[in-house]
Chains A and B, each alone.
Chain A
């Protein structure tokens, strides 16, 4: 009799791989077992561990909205051996999936609020399903402001979706880059400075942030300057994760395990951790 080990991934097939930026690919994978596929429900903010067999396993936010609608998508940035191996997979190749793990963005709690989504670089990945869920249920929410920053114009991640985001009612997409190029007519500014310039109102608003730690640190300061309270700021924590089950203790932060208790926390919750990220 085989053990149902929580460490053994589901087998999946790579369906498509789209190059989104010079170092980020969008992988669409299909779980092989139809029963598992039927029960693999996930929510914006949850993550899964992807296996490139022979290289290892790493955590990735799920960037699609629902299995029924979009299948299962991950934005993988080439940054080490596992991500390189995942990017080198060809459609039809086998990979492993464990998950979904972690909590999610409590978007139901944000109904009738103004939403400000702030993402930097690959930090846009877990925010993409947030944006698409809000657009899918557009009437449930008030204004949606998206501030998306990247190092250069070609590093802006979900460009094929920008037209839809810009066209959506009550929605603004503000793009910014650290360094422009010849064709770039948009902003050249750091994300925290764009937040300061646009000065979104904290009234009945929620700010959802993900990006490099330095961007987050200064963006938080700007949001607080604007009057945002810590319970109005939500982020998803980056942490070293191996098992996804709250056992290996790699993502232990104070009394919390990011893989089980998170990765989504309000700033108010984070400020109460004994150990600060």
Chain B
């Protein structure tokens, strides 16, 4: 059953949620829309295109302490980071919710990442369906849709005078405010998106690995890493120790396979020394290795990498080009 909430209902509801939870929601920070913990409901932005960054950083923070090293009388103790409070991510789009569902696969697989798992268990997702698509959007080619409820606990859909509230999970039910009326109107149709031929390309990727295409497309790559930084499913990380004034911490931070030196060993050996090899790694991890391992493509079609790449390397175009390469190969 769908319920209805006016915008005032939503604001009151967020206020209620804030009493017991950390609420992470899109807020306006200068020119960026970012997911951040809010202190009052009025901060939330409802009308936004894709946020600058996905909310993945709530589960896998850009940098976080995994444990701290405490020394007491020469005796060493390691104190792991704990998750202190329940949280709600409010207003994430279906593509970003799918991004989280995909991140679950490596991080919840045994041996699971306990910190990630604890945050995931203690966080509810209240999604917001997209009424408009951006030019870079292609979620329908990547297993999701602008109105996809499958990876959230509650899905909101904007209608003329408020929001349809669709409860998806039991966890979602426990978060609902009291007194919402049933919604009996029509559910608006989602925006239509242009299809990208993902499946055809994936099935051909084993043959495309050594194609000169990779060096060609990587020619203009600046290895700035923005694609990985904004991606909801890029999850490579680094671990380092930081010691400051006797305080020692092991810190995990985001890393990218596009960085020179990402795969460089202490002995000086590196399996990927060219830009083409590194760019190929990114696309193969998303479109081939991840599907081999977890039966899903590690891309949600949010289009952020398309939007932000300074040299217009466009994953949709790469997929289409690969399709052409495949057709040319099979035709010859």
Contacts and interface: CB of A to CB of B under 8 A. Distances in A.
A253 B69 contact: no
Interface stretch (B35-43, B46-54, B107-115, B149-157): B107-115
Given A2-B80, A5-B66, A240-B262, A54 B243 contact: yes
A186 interface: no
Contacts of A51: 241, 250
A162 to B, nearest CB: 24
Interface string B82-104: 10000000000000000000000
Given A9-B78, A57-B239, A242-B239, 9 more contacts: A4-B114, A5-B66, A11-B78, A55-B243, A56-B241, A240-B264, A251-B263, A253-B271, A274-B284
Contacts of A247: 106-107, 113, 235, 237
> Which 10 pairs between the two chains have the least Cβ-Cβ distance?
A54-B243, A3-B114, A249-B236, A94-B76, A56-B241, A7-B66, A54-B248, A5-B80, A6-B111, A53-B69
A254 interface: yes
A89 interface: no
B237 A243 contact: yes
13 contacts: A8-B78, A11-B76, A54-B241, A54-B243, A56-B239, A80-B266, A248-B236, A248-B237, A248-B239, A249-B235, A250-B238, A250-B263, A274-B288
A255 B82 CA distance: 33
Contacts of A22: none
A7 B266 contact: no
A5 B114 contact: yes
Query: From DSSP, what is the main secondary structure of chain B's interface residues?
Result: mixed
A243 B293 CA distance: 18
Interface string B258-301: 00001111110101000000000100110011001100000000
Contacts of A5: 66-67, 80, 114-115
A172 B52 CA distance: 64
B72 to A, nearest CB: 12
Interface of A: 2-9, 11, 51, 53-58, 79-80, 83, 94, 96, 122, 212-213, 238-240, 242-243, 245-255, 274-277
Contact of B80 (A8, A213, A246): A8
A245 B284 contact: no
B250 A57 contact: yes
B248 A53 contact: yes
Given A96-B78, A275-B209, A275-B271, A3 B118 contact: yes
A241 B78 CA distance: 22
A212 B267 contact: yes
B106 A246 contact: yes
A249 B111 contact: no
Contacts of B235: 247, 249
